[in-house]
Amino acid sequence: MRCSTCNGDLEARALFCGYCGRRTRIRRDSAIGTLIDDTYRIDEKIAEGGFGAIYRATHLASNSTLALKVLHADFANDIQLAARFLRESKALARLRNPHTVITYERGEARDGTLYIAMELLRGESLLQRFRRLGPLPWQEVLAIMRAVSSSLHEAHALGIVHRDLKPANIHLDGGVK
């Protein structure tokens, strides 16, 4: 989520922006607490993009926590966008690099909701680390870029293009994803 004033990254439950200090507008997401296919319970919104939202969710059978990417309902009836979402999820499921987010499952719920169940990442994005620490030592940058390059190499070999590679989408959790 982003601050409406400075466009800084916001934590899902933040009351104030950590960059400009402005009070955030808390909006209750109607998806919180709902079940997807009687399999996943949506617990908290993590991020939102143009085509969908990513939630922290619980897999009910195993009681494990994961990330659930859900296509916005506005786009569910758009055949081309829905097909693109499903193609993306199928492609992601083929990736096995240790620096790539794990895709567990993809599907369409009975109500037509399209979703991708993925590994929930802990830690911070590269953008957050830049903002927190400033310039990083070259050795750390090199290690990060090697991991990112390794992940992208596998994706490109399978014909997958990332299309949104930026520091906010590089995740550091002790490793790089």
Q: Print pLDDT tens along the chain (177 aa).
A: 667 677 777 766 667 777 777 777 655 677 899 999 999 999 999 888 778 899 999 999 999 999 999 998 878 788 888 888 888 889 889 999 999 999 999 988 888 889 999 999 999 999 999 999 999 999 999 999 999 999 999 999 998 888 889 999 999 987 788
At a CB cut-off of 8 Å and minimum separation 6, what does 96 contact? Answer: 154
E strands, 34-90, are 35-36, 40-48, 52-59, 64-71
Q: What one-character-per-residue DSSP string does 38-53 give?
A: TTEEEEEEEEE-SSEE
**What is the domain count for the chain?**
3
Q: Which two tokens stand for residue 139?
A: 């050795």
Q: Are 39 and 110 part of one and the same domain?
A: yes
Q: Are 109 and 130 part of one and the same domain?
A: no
Rounded Cα gap, residues 124 and 169, in angstroms: 10
177 is a domain residue: no
Please give the pLDDT value at position 101. 94
150 is a domain residue: yes
**Which residue among 29, 37, 164, 173 is the active-site one?**
164
Please give the pLDDT value at position 41. 97
Q: Are 87 and 145 part of one and the same domain?
A: no
170 phi/psi in degrees, rounded to 5: -105, 120
pTM: 0.78
Please give the pLDDT value at position 162. 86
CB 149 within 8 A of CB 30: no
Exposure on the CB side of residue 47, measured as CA atoms within 13 A: 14
Q: Are 46 and 114 part of one and the same domain?
A: yes
Q: Are 51 and 110 part of one and the same domain?
A: yes
Q: What is the largest CA-CA distance in the chain?
A: 49
Q: Are 39 and 114 part of one and the same domain?
A: yes
Is 37 one of the annotated active-site residues of the chain?
Answer: no
Domain that includes residue 139, residue range: 124-172
Please give the pLDDT value at position 25. 65
Please give the pLDDT value at position 47. 85
